[in-house]
Amino acid sequence: MIDFTLPPDLAELTARVRAYVEEDALPAEAELTDRADPLRDWHVVEALRDRARDRGLYTPHLPERWGGLGVGVLGMALISQECGVSQLASLGLNAMAPDEGNMHTLLIAGDEAQLETYLRPLAEGRVRSCFAMAEPDVASSDPLNLATTAVRDGDEWVIDGRKWCITGAEGAAFAIVVAKTGTDPAARHRNYSLLLVPTDTPGWRIVRHPEWMGAHSPGGHPEIALEGVRVPAANLLGGEGEGFAIAQKRLAGGRLAHAMRWIGAAQRALDLSAERLLARSAFGKRLADQQSLQFMLADSAMDLYASRLMVLNTAWKVERGMPHRQEVAMTKAFVSEAFGRIADRAVQIHGAAGIAMDLPIAGIYQDARAARIYDGASEVHRMVIARACLKAAEAGRSTAEACGEIA
């Protein structure tokens, strides 16, 4: 028998997060002057973080040593679903990309000096960070295309290249940069490493701030130039050539975290849609009594149900150290697309109010469309999923093993 009952401690924690979202985060959204970049109203986020600390909810994903609650992947799935309802909620918990992922990366690969220098101020909320991987001149979905280089020169690494769509880069104290440190074609992914780069290092330069669809993150998503950037050899994060192995661990968690938050945003879109149908009438009856609109709600409810189950099952496997690459790929692709379907229906249900940028639905729709692009486009994840199915079939086994078997 499969037991879906939440442990009492997680149920209690989830209830406290829900209260924080409803009583603190959602009301704080009215104080934002620029929804696209909360950095311009950072005092609002700081006030939310004080409330999160008062409620004992700050940095739930971190170990207690670093001021967190030590919540596992499954617990974070539940928390993030609650927080996804508000664009400010995860920021208030200091559990939002890219900082959340960078904290995880540092915990995976950082030495004691790096943890004290970079993780501690990040965990305490004294600084922000960014993760510099994507590049403007290559198809970054294939990581072997990345062209930024880091060359060893004595006790330093010298970094040259361009990065773009770097979330949170404006005002970040440091970046984790993916750079090519090897030249052996046979080494493939082992040619890449991660380097910690303080953003006040000479040669680090923000080139421009493109406008992005669904770009609602503090610090935007700028394009960065790295021109002769020199950092100490000690700033290598993990071993030389281990960059992608470390990044994959980070990205798996990041993709799952995004999916968790998208579920919360999709739930808000569905809630607003149901309220809209109950409040308005047309053609002699309530919109809620129009069968075509009822079907939209039903389809969205089914998308949400499937998304929740995928996220929770994948989180359960990750937390238990079980193989999960296939499940993460399926979850990221499915949930991002389900989010898009739910948001699109919400726009249609709201009519003109669904495309008004000063109301929530249009922003949710933009976020949903962007979700299919970042942290691996849907097509890339489909390639991963299909290859696993074909591998099983070629070996004479059932493709069930590549379909998220309940193990």
Please determine, looking at this structure, whether the domain spanning 129-242 carries the CATH number 2.40.110.10: yes
pLDDT at site 34: 78
Provide the sign of the torsion angle of the four alpha carbons 249, 252, 256, 258, taken in this order: positive
Beta-carbon contacts of residue 105 (< 8 Å; ≥ 6 apart): 131, 176, 194, 237, 246, 247, 249, 250
- The domains of the chain are located at 8-123, 129-242, 244-402
Query: Cα dist. 209→4, 89, 170, 204, 254 in Å?
Result: 45, 25, 9, 15, 23
For the chain, 407 residues long, give each residue's pLDDT as a single digit of tens: 467 888 899 999 999 999 999 999 999 999 998 777 788 899 999 999 999 999 999 999 999 999 999 999 999 999 999 999 998 999 999 999 999 999 999 999 999 999 999 999 999 999 999 999 999 999 888 889 999 999 999 999 999 999 999 999 999 999 999 999 999 999 999 999 999 999 999 999 999 999 888 766 899 999 999 999 999 999 999 999 999 999 988 877 778 889 999 999 999 999 999 999 999 999 999 999 999 999 999 999 999 999 999 999 999 999 888 999 999 999 999 999 999 999 999 999 999 999 999 899 999 999 999 999 988 899 999 999 999 999 999 999 999 999 987 75
Taking alpha carbons only, the member of 53, 81, 83, 80 closest to residue 68 is 53
Unique residue bearing structure tokens 């700050």: 58
Contact 139, 145 (CB under 8 A): yes
Taking alpha carbons only, the member of 102, 52, 7, 46 closest to residue 316 is 7
Question: What architecture is domain 8-123?
Answer: Orthogonal Bundle (1.10)
Which tokens hold the place of 243?
């960059």
**What superfamily would CATH give domain 244-402?**
Butyryl-CoA Dehydrogenase, subunit A, domain 3 (1.20.140.10)
Unique residue bearing structure tokens 């193989």: 323
CA–chain centroid gap for 276, Å, is 29
pLDDT at site 1: 43
